[in-house]
Amino acid sequence: MIIPCIDLMDGKVVQLVQGREKALEGEAPLTMLSRFAKFPEIQVIDLNAAVGDGGNSQIVHMLAARARCRVGGGVRTAERALGLVEQGAHRVIVGTAAFTPALAEIAAAVGAERVIVALDSKDGKIVVKGWRQATDFTAEQVIGRLERHCGGFLCTYVDKEGMMQGTDLDWFRRLRAATRHELTAAGGISTLEEIRELHAMGVHAALGMAIYTGRLDLAQLAALG
């Protein structure tokens, strides 16, 4: 499955490089949603909420009410996760809170099958709090013990995020070998060949910069499924 991304910052659709530098702005949120209408699921990330700098709740609600969306950004409590589901989110993405007791509470509130744990890796280590704080462990070390609290994992190779230089397929192969849970790859994916390799592994592809810059054609991607 190919999952287009809508990342929100200050009310606008944006694309960042490695979660920090804004590279471009997309069209209005509903316009982007209509462009992605042929895809079965959309990924919506509230970047302001992720770093604790406000939020884009109204836009998130608007998008989740109109399409099948997996929503992330600042999902650190069961109350927030439940609120997103009640607003229409199909699934919630949990990053920072996945490494705290809150993960079990979130899974209990919305059901583990609705939880996607974000494993974001930079320089080989998991990063949290909007990719601004590094931990001491790798995705391979923690993925097994997190399985019971989620229905899948969103694995972002932050080193290549937004850089259009390709991703690390070997990393995704290691993660695929480490769990039977659903896996979604993100971070630097920029060619159809990479997407096909990921699909051959049984890994979904979440796409942002490659779509927004026109590197990958939406019609071709929709045909791939």
Measure the CA–CA gap between 152 and 164, rounded to whole angstroms.
Answer: 25
CATH number at residue 206: 3.20.20.70
Mean pLDDT for the stretch of residues 107-127: 95
Mean pLDDT for the stretch of residues 30-38: 97
204's enclosing H/E stretch is: strand 204-207
Instruction: Quote the domain boundaries for residue 17.
Output: 2-224
- pLDDT for res 46: 95
Q: pLDDT higher for 127 or 71?
A: 71
Measure the CA–CA gap between 225 and 217, rounded to whole angstroms.
Answer: 13
91's enclosing H/E stretch is: strand 91-94
From 42-46, 161-165, 169-173, the region with the lowest mean pLDDT: 161-165
- pLDDT for res 162: 57
pTM exceeds 0.85 for this model: yes
Tell me the pLDDT band of 129, cut-offs 50, 70 and 90.
confident
- pLDDT for res 113: 98
pLDDT digits (tens, 9 = 90+) for 48-100: 998 888 999 999 999 999 999 999 999 999 999 999 999 999 999 999 999 99
- pLDDT for res 83: 95
From 19-33, 78-92, 142-156, 160-174, the region with the lowest mean pLDDT: 160-174
Catalytic residues: 7, 120
Total domain count, the chain:
1
